[in-house]
Amino acid sequence: MSKFFKKLGANLQTTVGFFCLSAFLIWLKTYIVYQTDFTLGAQGPLQHFLLILNPIGTTLLLLGIALYFRGRLAYWLMILINLLESIWIFSNVLYYREFSDFLSVAIIGSASSVDNNLNKAIGGIIHLGDFFVFIDIIILVLLLLFKVIKIDKRKIKKRFALSITALSFFLIFADFGISNADRSGLLTRTFDNNYIVKYLGLNEYLAFNIFQTHKQDASRSAASAKDIKPILKFINSHQAPDNVQYFGKAKGKNVFVIHLESLQQFMIGYKWDGQEVMPNLTNFYHDQSTLSFDNFYNQVGQGKTSDAETMLENSLYGLPSGSAMVNYGTSNTFQAAPAILSQQGYTTASFHGDVASFWNRDNAYKSWGYDYFFSKPFYKDADNPNYNVGYGMKDKIFLQDTAQYIQQLPQPFYAKVITVTNHYPYDLDKQNQTIKPFNTGDNTVDGYVQTARYLDQAFGEFLAWLKASGLYNNSMIVLYGDHYGISDNHRPAIAKLLNKPEVTNADLANFQKVPFMIHMPGLKGGINHTYGGEIDVLPTLFDLLGVKDDNYVQFGTDLLSSKHISIVPFRDGDFVTPQYIKYQNQYFYTNNGQVIDFSKDPAAKEAIAKIQDYVDTTLSDSDKVITGDLLRFYTPEGFKKVNRKDYNYNPTKTKAALKKDLIAEPSSILARNHDKSLVDLYKTDAPELKKEAK
C-alpha cells in the first residue's frame, strides 16, 4: 500500500498527474451535483451510465487546453478552467433549486432585467453545502503554493495533448450516439432542458443553448412572408367558434386583470391552523357571478411571469429558453390585447409596483400597445423600505396607491394590476403576518401561506373599493395565477401540504394548476371543469367582450367554446388532457393518476402520439412566430400596426396626458364625480400607513 501512495505521489508531481487529478475532481463534483441537486429522472442502467459518462468528455476537452502549454502556465490554466467550471455548476445549482431548470444564455443576458431584488432571493436559496464545488480548487491551490505538488516544467508531448483532445471528442460523440439511440431526436424534438443535461451533460447543454440562441437570432433575418402561411393554416384548422351564450356579455365593460403572483389553485379553499387561508378569493371563486376554472394550468417556461403575460395578452407561448419579453419585446411586431382593445375604444394601462425595466416591461409594453404603464416612479414614497418586500411594493400599499390612477382612466378601460408580495422568498414582516407559517420543515415553502394570506387581504380591500367607487357594477374582473409558487424540487413539503405520504409525477402535473376566474355582476357563473391554460385566456376574454378574433394569430382556444381544444401543453413538451397526463417522461391516466401500461392499452399509445404531435407543432409554430418576428408579415383586417414611438411612460408626460384625457374625454369615474377623488373610499389596514397617520 505504501508503494502505491509513493507512486501516486510521484505521479502527482508531473503535469499529466495534476491533469488527471483535476479532471477526476471536476468529474466527481459534477456527478455528485447530478445526484443531489438536480432531478434529472434517470431511469435504468443505461441512463445512469450516461450520467457517469457525460461529464468526462468536455472535462478532458477543456482541461486538455492546458496541455498545449508548459510549466506554471499549464497548471494555472487548469486551476482557472476548474474555477470557471465550478462557477457554472454553482450557478446552476442555485437557479435549479428555485426554478427546476438550468441557466440559459438568454437568462444570463437578461439578468439586468430581473436583478433588483435578486440578492435577497439568492440569500434564501443558497446553502452552505453548495460551496463544496470550490473546495477542490482551494486544496489544489494550497498544494501548489506550499509546494506539496511541485510544478513540472517539462513540456508535454504534443502527440499526448492531441490524443487527449481526440479522446474527449470521441467520448462526446459516443455519449451523443448512445443518448440519441435511447432518446430519438434528442436535440430536435425535446422542449425539456433536463433531457439535455441528463443525456449529454451540463457543459453540452450550455453549448447547445448557445447554438440555439444564435439560431434564434439568425431565424429573424432568414424569415420571410411565406413562413407565416403554414402557421395560419394550422391555427385556422384548430379554431373554436365563439360561445353564443357568452359572446359579447361584457361588451363595453371595463376589464380588470388581477395578476396573482405565484398563486396556485390548491390554495383556494385551503385551510391551515383552523382557518381559511384565503377567504376573500375563495368566496369570490364560488360567487354565483364568477366563472371559475378548476382545471386551469400555468404553462410558463424560463420566463416565468413574463411568459404568463406573453400568453395572457398575445396567446403566444413563452420561449423554450429565456424570456420573449426580454429578448424580443423591443424589436418584434405584436398583435396584443392592449393594442387590439385600444383600437376599439379602450384605454389600456398596466400597474406594477417595481422598476419599469423589470422583465423589459417598459419596452415590451410599447410593442404591445399599452397606452399607460404605471411603475414604481409613479408611486409616492415607493422607495420607502417599509413599503417594500421581495420584488416590489407591498400589495396593500400598492393597490391603494393604484386607485388614484384608475379613477383617472377614461372608460371603458383595460387595466392589468400586477401583485408581487406573494413572490419567492415569501418574506413578510411580523406586523403583516396574520397566520402561522406552514410546518413542512422546508424554509422555502413555510412562509408561502403568510404571503398568500396577505395577497388575499389586499385583494379584499381592492374589491371593496371597486364596489364603493361604483366601478364594480360596470367591470369584468379577471383573476389568474401566473405560475407555481412551490417548485417540484420541494416534493416532501408538497406531500405534506396535499396530505399525501408522497407525491407522484401525476400529482406534480396537477400541482401546476393556478386560479382563473372571470367575474361580472349578472354573469352566469359556476365551476367550469374545462381543461385549459394561460394560452387560452385571450380568446376567452375576447369572446366575452364581443371582439371578433378569427383572423388573429392565437395558439389558444376559447375555454367557453364547445369546440375548445382540451390539450394543455407545457413548455417542455409535457401535457395534460382530460384523459392523459405526460409529465417528466411518465404517462398517466388523468382520472386516477395511474401509470399507463401501453402493452395493455395500445389505444392510449396511439392517442398520446396524436396529442404529442399537436403539442410539438403548436409550441414549435409559436416559437417560429416569435423568433422569426413573423407577425411583421401579417396584419389582420381592421388592425393597425403598433408604432412604438407613439408611447412614452415617463411619469411627467403620463400625468400630463391623463389630465388632458380628463378634459377631452370626461368618462373617468373621477370626472363623473366632479373631479372629487374617490381614493378616500379606499380602506386598508396596512400597518405601515396606520403608523404614519398617527
State the catalytic residues.
305
Cβ atoms of 536 and 311 closer than 8 Å: no
Burial track 55-81 (b if 16+ CB lie within 10 A, e otherwise): bbbbbbbbbbbbbbbbeeebbebbbeb
Nearest to 390 by CA among 351, 419, 356: 419
Cβ partners under 8 Å of residue 549, min gap 6: 340, 538, 539, 542
273 marked as part of a ligand binding site: no
Nearest to 530 by CA among 513, 551, 554, 552: 513
261 marked as part of a ligand binding site: yes
The two beta strands, 392-393 and 290-297, are unpaired
423 marked as part of a ligand binding site: yes
* Cell numbers given for 372: 399607460
Cβ atoms of 497 and 438 closer than 8 Å: yes
3-state secondary structure 354-419: CCCCHHHHHHHHHHHCCCEEECHHHCCCCCCHHHEECCEECHHHHHHHHHHHHCCCCCCEEEEEEC
305 marked as part of a ligand binding site: yes
483 marked as part of a ligand binding site: yes
Residue 533 to residue 432: CA distance in whole angstroms: 32
Which of helix, strand or coil describes residue 157? coil
Count the residues in the chain: 694
Nearest to 527 by CA among 292, 690, 267: 292
Place of cell 413542512: 440
* Cell numbers given for 575: 401535457
Distance of CA 259 to the CA centre of its chain: 14
Q: Is 157 left (phi over 0), alpha (psi -120 to 50) or beta?
A: beta
Residue 614 to residue 565: CA distance in whole angstroms: 10
Residue 410: is the preceding peptide bond cis (ω within 30°)?
Answer: no
Cβ partners under 8 Å of residue 535, min gap 6: 299, 311, 315, 316, 317, 555, 556, 569
Residue 421 to residue 390: CA distance in whole angstroms: 7
Residue 568 to residue 299: CA distance in whole angstroms: 8
Q: Helix 361-368 and helix 305-314: axis angle, to 10°?
A: 10
Long-range contacts of 679-682 (CB under 8 A, 24+ apart): 679/400, 679/403, 679/404, 679/407, 681/465, 681/468, 681/469, 682/400, 682/403, 682/461, 682/465, 682/468
| Sign of the torsion angle spanned by Cα atoms 642, 645, 646, 649 | positive
Q: Is 265 left (phi over 0), alpha (psi -120 to 50) or beta?
A: alpha
- Residue ranges of the annotated binding site are 261, 305, 423, 482-483
- Residue ranges of the annotated binding site for Mn(2+) are 261, 305, 482-483
